[in-house]
Each structure stands twice: as C-alpha cells, then as structure tokens.
Amino acid sequence: MPYVFDFDHAHRRPPMDMKDLLGGKGANLAEMTSVLRLPVPPGFTISTDACRAYMAGGWPGRLDTEVARARARLERSMGKVVGDPADPLLVSVRSGAKFSMPGMMDTVLNLGLNDRSVAGLAAQTSDERFAYDSYRRFVAMYGRIVLDLPGEEFEALFEAAKEKAGTDSDAMVPTELLVGLVDAYKVLVERETGRPFPQDPDAQLRGAIEAVFRSWNGARARAYREREHIAHDLGTAVNVQAMVFGNRDERSGTGVGFTRDPATGAKGAYGDFLVNAQGEDVVAGIRNTDPLSALETRFPDVYRQLIAIFDRLERHYRDMCDTEFTIEQGKLWMLQTRVGKRTGRAALRMAVEMTKERAIRLSRAEAVGRITEDHLESVLHPQFAPGGDRRVLTTGLGASPGAAVGRAYFSADDAAAAASRGEAVILVRSETSPDDVHGMLAAQGILTARGGLVSHAAVVARGWGKPAVVGAESLRLADRSVSVGGVTVAEGDWLSIDGTDGTVVLGQVPLRPAEPSEEFLTILSWADAIRRGHLGVRANADTGADAANARRLGAEGIGLCRTEHMFLAEDRLPIVRRMILADTPEEEKAALEELRVAQRADFVEILEAMDGLPVTVRLLDPPLHEFLPSTHELAIKEATVGLDEEERRLYDAARSWQEANPMLGIRGVRLGVLKPGLYGMQVSALIEAATHRVLEGGRPVIEVMIPLTVSGPELALARGWVEEAMRAELEATGRPHRRSIEVSIGTMIETPRAALRAADLAEYAEFFSFGTNDLTQMTFGFSRDDVEGRMMSTYLEEGLLARNPFDVVDAEGVGELVRIGVERVRPDLKIGVCGEHGGDPESIALFYSAGLDYVSCSPFRVPVARLAAAQAVLAAAAPPGRAARPAARRAATRRPPVKKAAAKEAAKARGRQAAPKKALKKAAKAAPKTTARTRATAKRARRP
Ligand code: ADP
Ligand code: MG
Ligand code: MG
C-alpha cells in the first residue's frame, strides 16, 4: 500500500471510514474534495502507516519518492512549482491524527518560500509587502515548530519592528521593516541552530514532515493521550496542501465556523472571522475577531455560499460540523471540517432536535449514542446559587458551562502545584496554549483575558467539561496578579467564575447543584427504553435520603445498602461496643436487641424511599475493631493519665480484635460465624421494618446479602440464620404479611475463590452481586489504600498497568473472574455488580457482555450508568467485529429476541438515512419480563 494519497484519490471505501490511515483531518479533506466536491485547495496526505514506519525504523526509504511524486502531481494541477523563483507554489504542512489532539505539532504555513521565491511571489501578486509578510511568518513558524526555537524570540523581534514603525497593528508594518525582519529571523535561526535557514524546498518539506512525525511522541501529546486513553501506537498522518491566502488584502480573510452553536446547541451558523489574516490568527486570540454574522454584510456572496456549504455538511455528516475557511480575494476555500466538539448542554439539545429534523433523521439510538459521560457530567455541574450580593469583577465569554470557585493562580505550574496541595484553583491566563494543559487539568475553572469561543482555552475546557470564561478583555495581567477597574486580585485570592454566562466574581460564591434540561431527561428516557430488560441500574445507598435521591436520578433499586453506618452513628456506637464487650450471652442479647430497634427505623426509611423496588441489604461487613477506639491512643493514655475501668475493658477488647491484616481478616460472613446473633438481629430488624411498611400499604422488596462468602457451606450456614430469623420474625408479627414481603437471599462475590466456586455458592443463593472493589484488591493482591496513593501513578506512567483497575475494571483478570463466575451458575440466577466500577461506562460494557443483570453505583453516577448501559446494549447488538459479542450465557438462555431487534437498531445507527422509530419500541418490548420476584418466590416455594 502506498504511503501517500492525494485528497482526490479514489479510495475503495468512503474516506471517512479511513481515519485510521488518513487521520481525521486527512479523511475529512478527502471527503470534502472527492465526495462533497467542495472548494478545497488540493493536496495530499502522508498516511499514519508512514508515521508508524518512521517510529519503528526511521525515515522510510520509499517515502521520499512518493512525496516527490505527489508534489509533482500537485504542482501540475496548480500550474506552479514549489520553490520556483518566478512563480512559486506554497504549501502548508498540517498534522492530523485519527483523534483530534492538542499537543501535537502546529501547522507550518507558506512552506516553499526562500530568498529567491519570495521575489517571485512579490512579482506575481504585485504585492511585495504581502510576499515578505508571508516569508516572515514562514521563517518564524518553521523556526519555532520544526527547529524548536523559542517563539518569544521571534515575537520580540516583531514587536521591535512594530515599535519602530510606530504602530501596534501587524498590518501596518511597512515592507522594508518586514524585509529586515526576515533577515533578523534568519540570523536568529543560524545563531541558535548553527546552520542557515534551509533554502531548499525539498529540505524544508522533509523537515516539516519529520517534525510532525516526531511531535506524535512529544511530551504534551503523550500526556494528552494518556488522559484521553488514546493508544500511543496509532501515529499521525501529515497533510501537505496548496496555500490559499487570507492575508492577501482587504478582500481576503480567514475564519472558523460552526454549523450550530457549540455552546448552546441552537440552530444557525456560528463563528468568528478576521479580515486580512492568515491561519492561526483567529484561533490564537491575538486579534479580536468579528462574529460570522458580520461576514454577511462584508462579503454577502461568500456568506451565502458558506451557509449553503454548512447545510450540505450537516446533511452529509448528519451532525454539527466545525469548519475552517479562508477567503482569498473574494473566493471561498474550505480548509477543514469535522464533527464539532460541543458542550453537554449543546450535545443533548442537538441530539434530541436532530431526531426531528428531516435532513438528518437521527434515530433515538443514534441520539443516545452521541451523548458521552462528560456531556452528562457537565450538565450536572454546579451553578452559582441564586441570591446573595456578589461583586462582579468583570464579564468575559462563557466558554464552557458550569460554575467554579477557587484561588487564582497565574501559571500552569503554579496552578498544578497548588492543586496538588489540595487547593481549589482558578487558572488565570492571558490566553492558553498546549503548554498550559497540565495547569488547566488541575484547575476547577479557567479564566483568560483574550481569545474567543474557539480559542485554545475554550476548546480544551469544553472538551473536559470544565467551567471556563475566556476573552475577559478588561483583565490586566501582571506576573502574579490581575487587576481590573482598580481592583487587584493577587495569587491565592478567591475567584468564582460562571462559564455559562461569563461572569467573574471576586470571592467565593456558594454553588448550587445543576438542574438538568428537558433534553437531558428525554435522552435518559430513550436510554432507559433501550436498556430495559437488558441491564438494570441501581444505586448504592445507605440512608433514606440517599435512597430518595437515587430514585430521583433514575435508580431502579438499591444494589448495595451498607449497614455499617447504622452501627457508627453516635447514639449506636456505645451499644455496639456493649455488644462486643458482652461477657454473657444475655448481655450480648440485650445489646443486640437495642441495636435491632435502632436499625429497624433506618430500614423503614430506606424501604419507603424505594417502595416497590428491590433493596439489597448487606449484613454487617467491616471488622469489629472499626467500632472500637484505637489501641494506639489507649496505650498512650494508659501510660500517661491511666485508664478508667470502661476504658480498660475497651482496650482489652480492641487488642483482642486487633488484626495484622484486617482487610483479609475477620469481616463479612466470618464475623457472622463468630458472632452468630449479629446477622439474625439485622434480619429481624429488616423484616420488622418490612412488615411495618406492608401495614402502611407499601411494597417492600428485600434482598438480604451475605458479604465475603467463599464456600457453599459458609453460605448455607449464613442462609440458615437468615431464614431462622425471618421465620421467627414473621411468626411473631403474624403470618398474613408473609406473602406480601418479598425476600430473597444471596451473596457478594468478592474473592477469586468465590468466583471460581460460583456453582457451590449458587446452590444457596437467589442472587449474586460482584463486589469488584474487593475482588480487584484480592485478585491483584493490592491493598487499595496503600497502593493507590504511592504506587499507582508510577505503574501507570511506566505502562505496567494500562488503567487504574480501581477506576476501570481490569478486563483480563477481574473481568475474567466475573465471566467465570457468571458462566458457572444457572442462567436464572440474578447477578449484579455493586463495586464502584458499576458507575464506569467502560466497565459497564464489560459487565453487560459478561451477562450481568444490573449495575449499581453511587446515586450521582446513576444518570451516567443509565446512558452507558444503553450504549453497551447497542454496542453488543452490533454485528460481530463491530463490538464484543455478548457472553454465551446470554446468547444461549437469556435474550435472543432482544438481540435481534437491538441489532437492527444498531445497524441503523451506522449510516442509514431514515429510521422508523418502531424498532426501538420493539426492542424494548421484546425484553423478557422475568423479575427477581418470580424467581425468588418460586425458589422459596421449593424450600421446606
Ligand atoms: P489545527 O489542527 O491546529 O487547526 P490546521 O492544520 O488546521 O491546524 O491549520 C492551522 C491554521 O492554518 C488553520 O486556521 C488553517 O485554516 C490554516 N491553514 C492550514 N492549511 C492552509 C492552507 N493550505 N492555506 C491557508 N491556510 C491554511
Ligand atoms: Mg493549531
Ligand atoms: Mg484546524
């Protein structure tokens, strides 16, 4: 396969399907050229294959010939030759990886100019000033980007020239000074590199291409890929393209346009442009831009043409696009397009609206597929709380929604350092560049004095869902302070920013949690329809308030209710201690009785909040010493002031329950074995609470979960206590309620042995819940508290782990144990997951493909889990090769009819034009209706 492809190369597949090879920019340029036939300056793309070959073994031998041939074709089609002293062709060299990536090499413009061809350009255009302006830009760009020279030195020389000319406008610097500037730049290059500025266009071109290849492995690019989980071995493509000139004259210009508003999602073209300017001038935020609407008055024909192109782009890509364009002496050229980045609010609005637009006809599945975790998170972001008097310092452009409060820091390094000390930070900069990325990452919010809505700061912040205000022009930045209207904000002072409307406030404004839009609810309801019957979403909640919140956010039950907080409450702790200290069975019983009464009230609240939905209550899990005072403190007290009798007993108990490795010690069911009355008490309290709820007309659905079991007999024993307590409790409260309380008994799978011996455990269980936090610790032998702080970052940096396995479930180890556990049990056993992974989209996809019935996560992650669950269902329904196939268990026994319907829906999601909405409803309907209740009650009926 060749390394080089012209933009109009006849590929076998649509160029957009070839982003792997052509990179995103190259694929889009080819698509615009050969499919859409838009006015694109011709050029060619050097593939990612070439970059990978370069990384593996240096400059590939045949690349020179291929580039030379492609260049010759370009020269023929343009009727000009690169470097021609009479009439030179100039080109740009543009990097472009599969995924858009800040931190990679910038673009080199005007390549091909040298001391001779600059005169040709001047003669051809009858514009000497233009020629030398282009040349000085080229030498500076090439010096900075390809030769790695500090950009400020070129800047300083330019500023000096402006001063000499007595102007602060780039466009007013006269030709003689530009000529002198080029000479000064060349002297700078020779002094710094020890070699003259390359005059040979071949050398220039090869240098620029190689610089793009090298930039793939630059520190900034690597850091970005790590954050975004982009593979390091993809490589980048390089695009070489004939130059067009927006800096030609007043009938020329350059701009950036969006087919809709990327901040709000509102329909209608949106963007910025600059008259008589080139390339980066718009994005860099150096000059203040005009809104796209001003183009209509200035260049009405071009404006109409551009709007028509926007329309075609939207129809073609079926999405909002962003574009870069240049006008050269009244002629419009398209330089780039891609499906544009957007805020969460805009993403939701566009996705919903596009299902109703004839030109786009998005299906609901596609709409759901377009929303990301970050989008949801950003609309769930806090806002300024209403009311209160606040001192608005200034206003800029709301570039990325959400409000943030932090202390002002003025460099990325200072911001990162402050954040690592635990401070909340607002990074304040004149403008940002890829060098600031680490500081932006560490900040709660970003504030810049310059730049528009497409400036670096704005684009990066939006991508991360981080609040940002840009272009707050009244800010006067000094080294470590900023002043505005007589007020000075020093380093460390509090600032609050609102990235939605652009206000900047002095001090700390109280924040209010976000209020999701109507489209947010719509998308989630569509997601629910897709996943219903396939993958449930529950929440981990320990109190009535948490349970109510979880339900409000769409949880379909509680997957994990930890009972330990009920023990730790201030009024309970003395009772718990009494139980631990008990000398006689009677004393222990009395303490347990007291606890039972207290627990009952907690359970009532939770069951009420989740009425009609399953509530999984985990019996006590942590080791007992957690309820006792620290032996260390008591030892000190004993040695100094001495202990009273109560303290002496506690000290003895604490010492006797002290463990060398409590994580692997007496906890979970093991505790139940040593303190048999404990679990019985908890179950009594639960059943009593349930009975109370039934009498009040509620419908409690209870799942009693035994933690940390590793063998059948262990679970059988624990099950016996639970059943015994249930029987006793129901007899005491009267039989009539028995039927209306739905109770099932199950266990957590938290150790490798439990996963491997799942079949033994399943004998005594109606449900399993994978506790992937412990399972991860035990599978790796990592003590989370110990390794996460000290070791994890090193392991990730060194590539010893691809991901933190506590964030994303380890597919190969822990994931394999989950699969094994699922495969070894009967298909009707209900299985969920209740570790923190239950809220992580990638892990959710794995759990679905392993055949789990539901995931459970913290309440505020529930919306993300609902979305991710739907996306997992859609991905699994795509034909093989597109996504992981669902586990055999599901294929064989669970949801075959659903698979088909969902497969259809997913197939449609990939590129058809119209979608009957019926399919979605069908997919939802086809879901099997077996509920936990029917399985559990059937099970109970079989038991004596
Ligand atoms: P980025 O990925 O950083 O946007 P680009 O390759 O798109 O980098 O180029 C940066 C700027 O240079 C853009 O504004 C683009 O429009 C301009 N540019 C790139 N190639 C050309 C060209 N052939 N003629 C004129 N301007 C160009
Ligand atoms: Mg750039
Ligand atoms: Mg670009």
Tens digit of each residue's pLDDT (9 = 90 or more) over 28-45: 999 999 999 999 999 999
Q: What is the CA radius of gyration of the chain?
A: 33
User: Of all atoms in ligand 1, which is nearest to the CA of residue 278?
Assistant: 26
pLDDT at 433 over 70: yes
E-strand ranges in 801-904 read 830-833, 854-857
Ligand nearest the Cα of residue 94 is 1
Contact 769, 749 (CB under 8 A): yes
pLDDT at 125 over 60: yes
Beta bridge partners of 227: none
- Residue that has been written with the tokens 């829906």 in this structure: 905
pLDDT at 152 over 70: yes
Calculate the alpha carbon distances from 391 to 11, 469, 494 in Å: 59, 16, 12
Among candidate residues 73, 648, 31, the one with its CA nearest the CA of residue 312: 31
Full DSSP string of 454-507: TSHHHHHHHHHT--EEE--TT-EE-SSEEEETTEEEETT-EEEEETTT-EEEES
pLDDT at 899 over 50: no
- Residue that has been written with the tokens 């200034």 in this structure: 394
pLDDT at 221 over 50: yes
Q: 10 Å Cβ neighbour count for 76?
A: 10
Greatest mean pLDDT among 80-89, 214-223, 619-628: 80-89
Contact 307, 316 (CB under 8 A): no
pLDDT at 689 over 70: yes
Among candidate residues 457, 460, 461, 494, the one with its CA nearest the CA of residue 472: 457
CA of 908 to the centre of ligand 2 (A): 35
Higher pLDDT, 387 or 699: 699
Q: Which two tokens stand for residue 786?
A: 């110990």
E-strand ranges in 837-913 read 854-857
Q: Which residue has the least CA distance to atom 20 on ligand 1?
A: 92
Residue range 169-208, pLDDT digits in tens: 887 899 999 999 999 999 999 999 999 999 999 999 999 9
Residue 663 pLDDT? 85
Q: Is the pTM of this model over 0.85?
A: no
Q: Which residue has the least CA distance to atom 14 on ligand 1?
A: 279
User: Of all atoms in ligand 1, which is nearest to the CA of residue 41?
Assistant: 23
What mean pLDDT, rounded, does the chain reach? Answer: 87
Residue range 76-98, pLDDT digits in tens: 999 999 999 999 999 999 999 99
To the nearest whole percent, how much of the chain has pLDDT over 90?
Answer: 65
Residue 789 pLDDT? 63
Ligand nearest the Cα of residue 281 is 1
Most informative mutation of 7, 324, 333 for ligand 1 (most atoms within 8 A of CB) = 324
Distance CA 380, CA 553 (A): 11
CA of 230 to the centre of ligand 1 (A): 23
Q: Which two tokens stand for residue 78?
A: 């343009």
What is the rounded end-to-end Cα distance, in angstroms, of the chain? 71
pLDDT at 693 over 80: yes
pLDDT at 595 over 70: yes
Contact 462, 482 (CB under 8 A): no
Distance CA 587, CA 572 (A): 16
Distance CA 87, CA 678 (A): 91
CA of 617 to the centre of ligand 2 (A): 54
- What confidence category does residue 884 fall into, taking pLDDT thresholds of 50, 70 and 90? very low
Q: Which of 51, 321, 834, 857 does the annotation list as catalytic? A: 834
User: Of all atoms in ligand 1, which is nearest to the CA of residue 43?
Assistant: 23
Most informative mutation of 209, 286, 336, 455 for ligand 1 (most atoms within 8 A of CB) = 336
pLDDT at 248 over 50: yes
Of 69-78, 379-388, 579-588, 933-942, the least confident: 933-942
Ligand nearest the Cα of residue 91 is 1
H, E, C per residue of 812-825: CCHHHHHHHHHHCC
Residue 848 pLDDT? 97
Residue 285 pLDDT? 55
pLDDT at 464 over 80: no
pLDDT at 901 over 50: no
Calculate the alpha carbon distances from 578 to 89, 245, 632, 685 in Å: 89, 84, 20, 18
Q: Which residue has the least CA distance to atom 11 on ligand 1?
A: 279
Q: What residues have a C-beta under 5 A from ligand 3, the ion? A: 324, 336
Of 287-296, 510-519, 554-563, 783-792, the least confident: 783-792
Residue type at 869 in one-letter notation? A
The reply to whether 534 belongs to the active site is no
Distance of CA 477 to the CA centre of its chain: 32
Q: Which residue has the least CA distance to atom 18 on ligand 1?
A: 279
Handedness of CA 140, 143, 145, 149 (dihedral sign): negative
Higher pLDDT, 472 or 219: 472
Long-range contacts made by residues 917-922, C-beta under 8 angstroms, separation at least 24? 917/363, 917/364, 919/363, 920/363, 920/364, 920/365, 920/526, 920/529, 920/530, 921/529
pLDDT at 939 over 50: no
Distance CA 130, CA 176 (A): 12
Q: Which residue has the least CA distance to atom 9 on ligand 1?
A: 107
Q: 10 Å Cβ neighbour count for 783?
A: 13
Q: Which two tokens stand for residue 147?
A: 């030769």
Q: In what order do the strands lie in the sheet with 425-429?
A: 391-395, 503-506, 494-498, 403-409, 425-429, 445-448, 468-470, 397-400
- What confidence category does residue 738 fall into, taking pLDDT thresholds of 50, 70 and 90? low
Q: Return the H-helix or E-strand segment holding 583.
A: none
Q: Which residue has the least CA distance to atom 15 on ligand 1?
A: 279
Most informative mutation of 25, 77, 92 for ligand 1 (most atoms within 8 A of CB) = 92
For 403-414, what is the mean pLDDT?
A: 96
Of 728-737, 820-829, 911-920, the least confident: 911-920
Backbone angles phi, psi at 747, to 5 degrees: -140, 160
CA of 454 to the centre of ligand 1 (A): 14
- Residue that has been written with the tokens 């992974």 in this structure: 837
Higher pLDDT, 762 or 923: 762
Q: Which two tokens stand for residue 531?
A: 């996943």
CA of 27 to the centre of ligand 3 (A): 13
pLDDT at 681 over 80: yes
Ligand 1, CB within 6 Å, residue ranges: 41, 92, 94, 106-107, 109, 241-244, 279-280, 324, 326, 335-336
The reply to whether 834 belongs to the active site is yes
Among candidate residues 699, 725, 843, the one with its CA nearest the CA of residue 775: 843
Q: Which of 11, 375, 381, 456 does the annotation list as catalytic? A: 456
Calculate the alpha carbon distances from 757 to 55, 495, 857 in Å: 47, 56, 25
Residue 897 pLDDT? 36
Higher pLDDT, 411 or 264: 411
Q: Which residue has the least CA distance to atom 3 on ligand 1?
A: 106
Residue 699 pLDDT? 94
Q: Return the H-helix or E-strand segment holding 148.
A: none
Greatest mean pLDDT among 95-104, 107-116, 430-439, 512-521: 107-116
Q: 10 Å Cβ neighbour count for 148?
A: 11
Residue type at 160 in one-letter notation? A
